[in-house]
Structure 1
């Protein structure tokens, strides 16, 4: 199946892509929610160059939404339609179990008349994190919500020790699903552990 992926650069959206590629599916586009008039993504604040590099590694198109708050939904739907024009039958998302997020994704896909898949839907946090660490992919924390974590965590490698700390802290979702922290998966690890799964053309 050809698919597009809503890609933040974070661990969950990357793991969702890896699962789809491992199953033999064909990634045709990354959809990146970016800020109108800025060279930055929403939420993670990553630069366009990062996504362009990942797109080159994964041999797929990168579609930037370039949206403001007032047209965020519309621009995302347009990006979904653009990915459909490239052959995508469905778009995948890295969300786990926040119903508002899952429903938003489903609504956008319905409007664009494209399938909606959540590869990590309703899975246990520990299983997701263990799978990510064992995959060889490497992520660093790039942004924290200071209501939950000190800014000193920014730049830290998401390794087993840090994950164990998050698991033991009842105030933090171990995957950062509520925005406690955001990660950026290192480009070198995407090239090493995802590129080999791409179908040869």
Structure 2
């Protein structure tokens, strides 16, 4: 039987440092840690869940009452977020002006839709004759329908290009505030509205 050499490095006694070097190896990091972290988009609002006593945010180990409390708190924060956003937009004169312009486009589009049907049925024997260009009613119906499409599409484009950026900007501003700051600002806006109502009543 062959005998191992006592001078083999594997059979020689090792110190603590050498043992650590031998036992310690390279461990691969989790693939999820290697993924690049991207910031949330401007239109994405992140709602943080209420933390458990152990510091986690999962509802796995909670009772039904605790889960209900977490959902209630989340709904309350979302209501405060939406209420504060709408209150700030209501006080934004530029937003209010652009909303009025948007309503004008939309109402005109609906009016011309009604005019199109009314003109088509006037003098037409049946519904298939509504858009007959040989009749005055048919011509007016086609023109009214074309104008209706123009105003409705214009209202959609106007909302996308002029109103939505103001709304997103306000949402980002509210999202950057802490829950405490949101409540304080909402309370201040409510107090201002109450003072304005009182001043209007006293001036009458």
Q: Indicate the structure with greater helix content.
A: 2
Q: Indicate the structure with greater strand content.
A: 1
Q: Please give the TM-score of this superposition, normalised by the length of structure 2.
A: 0.22
